[in-house]
Amino acid sequence: MPLVLGPDTVPVIRGAEVATRAPELAVLSVMLHGHGEDAVAIGEAALAAARGLRDGRDTLYTDLVLASVHAAARAILEAVMASGNYEYQSDFARRYFGQGKAEGKSEAVLAVLAARQIAVPDEIRARITTCADVALLDRWLARAITALAAADVVSE
């Protein structure tokens, strides 16, 4: 009988410790379960496992994780990666995301809002993209995850 893989046969891996012991299974878990409500936790676990790999698997697995989750989860995972708390493995990612923390964080705020389908008026978009205060952008990024409107993100 052929081996059939599906949501019922591949476990949901939410913990980084388990994911690190079996990174391929963690990535497969994201591919099969990445559109559910646990997508962020599953994706974070698989990304943690990918960080410890070399020989190109790190970037391949990171790409597979981001491609396998729903848009809101992808925006959140990318925001975490852009926040400076994520250690990039590939030279490309280090160069791309190292161009400017403030620029990356402002893009992350807008990406989360876009993924959540929250309209961003031009004046708020300008305020976000011109902000150079990394700590303030961190606060805005955290607010973007739960905000009901773009104005809620930048309110003082």
pLDDT tens readout for residues 105-141: 888 899 999 989 999 999 999 999 988 888 898 899 8
Report pLDDT for 14.
85
Concatenated DSSP letters for 12-39? ----HHHHHH-HHHHHHHHHHHTTSTTH
- The answer on pLDDT for 148 being more than 90 is yes
Q: How many whole angstroms separate alpha carbon 74 and alpha carbon 23?
A: 19
The better pLDDT of the pair 68, 105 is held by: 68
Q: What is the mean pLDDT of residues 34-62?
A: 87
pTM of the prediction? 0.56
